[in-house]
């Protein structure tokens, strides 16, 4: 069994990771951390864990965490992870980081979008981005994996095969994404207060959402130059799920079948990406690690539609998928 610790275990993505790890045949959770006073059992914070996991929430040092577990799932907030993770790695553990602290390649971009100096700048640009469908070979030999953002996964998976083909313009990519309220985290906020978000849909962070540079950076690896992305996230009145509609222009006219073939060829054999003929809906992927993708051609533009569960394929499921790759386990372990 591989021993696992979860840092920042009181949030939604941490709970989802714990639930997956509890059914994982090769994982054993040995520590869950939080700064809550009194070291209460984690089941007092997450009642769904009663009778399933009764570990106390501990305020452990990074060195203690790294010495106790072989792999650490860091569910700490942005900017906090980079303070802790170097010490966890030095103690000998591998880390899958849920935050954005290691997703971007340079400190200047991180400062621009997150408003903080990065605490571990030497690892920026050297940390593998945790999308196994695209970077599996690099993940296998890593000690630290940057788990992707949920919106980013919903955009990068459908876009990558098209951009890689060289048959599409990358200077005018439009991404329209709708997410369930859990994507905003467990901390109370006005926009996620029930009377504010129920029976309403609203855009937020227009032109300044932090997943924009992440999407551009990963797509640029196939494009040869930094693409121009307009990304508009919207809050939908549902608990979980993301539906992204993406608009991209082909350099020459393309038939719908040609676009679908690009997608199918790219993801043939990939267990968690389903290229489908129908228009996917968030209910198709809820509580699963699947990302469903389809394409349509409308007035010369290609429309890509993708959906996933923001807490699973967009966070905890992807992290367990990365964990499986790191430890040479079947990639589907715990996820089906």
Which positions are annotated as active-site residues? Answer: 150
**Helix or strand or coil: residue 314?**
helix
Q: DSSP secondary-structure letter at 2?
A: E
Strands (E), 181-269: 202-203, 229-235, 242-248
CA dihedral 293, 297, 298, 303 (to 10 degrees): 30
The residues facing 308 across adjacent strands are: 242, 291
With CA atoms as reference, report the closest residue to 130 among 174, 159, 93, 100: 100
Angle, CA 94 vertex, CA 92 and CA 98 arms, to 5°: 140
Tally of helices (H runs) and strands (E runs) in the chain: 10, 14
For residue 30, how many other CB atoms are within 10 A of its CB? 16
CA-nearest of 40, 263, 27, 45 to 157 is 263
Dist. CA 177–CA 233, nearest whole Å: 5
Q: How many CB atoms lie within 10 A of CB 151?
A: 26
CA-nearest of 153, 163, 170, 182 to 321 is 153
| Integer Rg of the chain from CA | 19
Strand (E) or helix (H) holding 163: helix 150-164
Give 126: exposed, middle or buried? Use CB within 10 Å, 0-12, 13-18, 19+. Answer: exposed
Coil, strand or helix at 207: coil
Residue corresponding to tokens 């790695």: 89
């Amino acid at each position: 069994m591989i021993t696992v610790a979860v840092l920042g275990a009181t949030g939604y993505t941490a709970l989802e990771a714990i639930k997956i790890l509890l059914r994982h045949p090769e994982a054993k959770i040995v520590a869950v951390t939080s700064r809550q006073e009194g070291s209460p059992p984690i089941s007092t914070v997450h009642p769904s864990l009663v009778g399933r996991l009764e570990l106390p929430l501990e305020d452990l040092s990074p060195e203690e965490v790294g010495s106790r577990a072989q792999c650490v799932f860091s569910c700490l907030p942005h900017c906090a992870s980079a303070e802790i993770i170097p010490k966890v790695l030095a103690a000998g553990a591998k880390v899958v980081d849920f935050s954005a602290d290691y997703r971007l390649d340079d400190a200047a971009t991180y400062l621009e979008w997150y408003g903080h100096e990065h605490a571990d700048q030497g690892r920026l640009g050297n940390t593998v981005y945790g999308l196994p469908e695209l970077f599996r070979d690099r993940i296998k030999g890593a000690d630290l994996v940057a788990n992707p953002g949920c919106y980013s996964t919903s955009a990068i998976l459908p876009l990558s095969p098209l951009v890689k083909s060289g048959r599409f313009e990358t200077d005018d990519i439009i991404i329209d994404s709708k997410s369930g309220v859990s994507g905003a985290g467990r901390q109370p906020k006005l926009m996620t207060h029930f009377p504010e978000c129920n029976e309403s849909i609203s855009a937020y962070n227009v032109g300044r959402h932090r997943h924009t540079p992440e999407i551009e950076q990963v797509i640029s690896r196939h494009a040869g130059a930094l693409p121009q992305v307009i990304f508009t996230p919207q809050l939908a009145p549902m608990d979980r799920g993301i539906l992204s509609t993406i608009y991209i222009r082909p350099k020459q006219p393309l038939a719908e079948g040609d676009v679908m073939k690009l997608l199918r060829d790219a993801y043939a054999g990939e267990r968690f990406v389903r290229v489908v003929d129908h228009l996917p809906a968030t209910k198709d992927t809820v509580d699963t690690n699947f990302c469903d993708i389809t394409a349509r051609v409308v007035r010369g533009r290609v429309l890509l539609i993708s959906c996933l569960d923001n807490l699973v394929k967009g966070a905890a499921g992807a992290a367990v998928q990365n964990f499986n790759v790191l430890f040479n386990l079947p990639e589907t372990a715990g996820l089906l």
